[in-house]
Amino acid sequence: EIAAQAIDLHKTYGKGAAEVRALDGVSLDLYAGQFTAIMGPSGSGKSTLMHCLAALDKPTSGEVVVGGRKLGRLRDRRLTALRRDKIGFVFQAFNLVPTLTAQENILLPLSLARRKPEKGWFDQVIDTVGLRPRLDHKPSELSGGQQQRVACARALVSRPDIVFADEPTGNLDSTSAAQVLDFLRHSVDDLGQTIVMVSHDPVAASYCDRVIFLADGRIVDELAKPSREQIL
Ligand code: ADP
Ligand code: ADP
């Protein structure tokens, strides 16, 4: 089953002599129930690709399909609803609300939409992420790794079709990074989630089922279940 698809994506910024080709013909099928990493040097187009796949940005040409829907065909209101209901986001900065507890932060996307989590799902997510003893803590009372795990739980709480994580371990020490990566791995294996992560870190990529390498806006290589040695 294909969770998201990029079909011949091009994205250019600027015009004339200042034109930058951020994406130069990227086609990619992302399979449901997989943990995929997108790697590549700085400026290779990783963020642009992820933003196009996540309906945060529009390609100059080409098509993105998420959950069977062609994003280019959707009106802004439908895109907003798709982002809210079907897509989860994790960023390098945790972006938690400092005045809310961990539980309130996790439930915030649903509260804003006046919805409740699917029965049993909140507990499954909390137990997988190992945050039950921290639910009443404010972000300032949590370690960086715990804050990022709260952000990951928040991304999963609507049980999205696909979760995009942009350098989720970029601000973390290696121990905290391992906790976040373990949770993302378990959310795929035990909760059936689909995760796409942009990362520079070979250790992070070694948690993935599949690693896509970008250079100059093109896919230049791909590895399945790579060992750390293969990525380093
Ligand atoms: P990566 O995430 O791999 O570092 P990006 O997708 O951020 O790569 O950038 C790809 C290319 O597009 C780079 O040359 C970058 O400078 C350029 N770029 C990205 N965003 C913009 C923008 N908003 N305006 C102009 N150029 C941009
Ligand atoms: P866990 O093993 O539960 O994931 P950690 O190893 O991340 O927890 O942190 C251990 C304890 O130290 C926790 O109670 C956590 O709240 C606290 N802690 C760690 N870093 C910080 C920090 N920067 N600010 C406040 N508390 C912290």
pLDDT tens track for 188-231: 999 999 999 999 889 999 999 999 999 999 999 999 987 777 77
Going from the Cα of 110 to the center of ligand 1, the distance in angstroms, rounded, reads 32
For the CA of 142, the nearest ligand: 2
Going from the Cα of 37 to the center of ligand 1, the distance in angstroms, rounded, reads 18
Say yes or no to pLDDT of 89 above 90: yes
Hey, whose CA ends up nearest to atom 7 of ligand 2? 143
In angstroms, the CA 232 to CA 230 distance is 6
Q: Which amino acid is at 226?
A: P
Hey, whose CA ends up nearest to atom 12 of ligand 2? 143
Nearest by Cα to 212 from 28, 17, 1: 28
139 lines ligand 2 (CB under 6 A): no
* DSSP state at residue 193: -
Nearest by Cα to 84 from 111, 52, 123, 45: 111
44 CA closest ligand 1 atom index: 3
Going from the Cα of 44 to the center of ligand 1, the distance in angstroms, rounded, reads 8
47 CA closest ligand 1 atom index: 2
Percent of the chain past pLDDT 90, that is, above it, reads 89
Please state at what angle helix 174-189 crosses helix 144-156, rounded to 10 degrees. Answer: 20
15 lines ligand 1 (CB under 6 A): no
In angstroms, the CA 29 to CA 6 distance is 6
In angstroms, the CA 197 to CA 29 distance is 14
143 lines ligand 2 (CB under 6 A): yes
20-75 pLDDT tens trace: 999 999 999 999 999 999 999 999 999 999 999 999 999 999 999 998 899 999 99
**Cα 120–124–130 angle (5° rounding)?**
145
What tokens were used for 157?
């709480």
Going from the Cα of 45 to the center of ligand 1, the distance in angstroms, rounded, reads 6
10 Å Cβ neighbour count for 190? 11
Hey, whose CA ends up nearest to atom 13 of ligand 1? 43
pLDDT at residue number 67: 85
10 Å Cβ neighbour count for 111? 13
pLDDT at residue number 149: 97
What tokens were used for 81?
């609803």
pTM here? 0.87
142 CA closest ligand 2 atom index: 16
pLDDT at residue number 205: 93
In angstroms, the CA 82 to CA 194 distance is 16
What tokens were used for 4?
């998201």
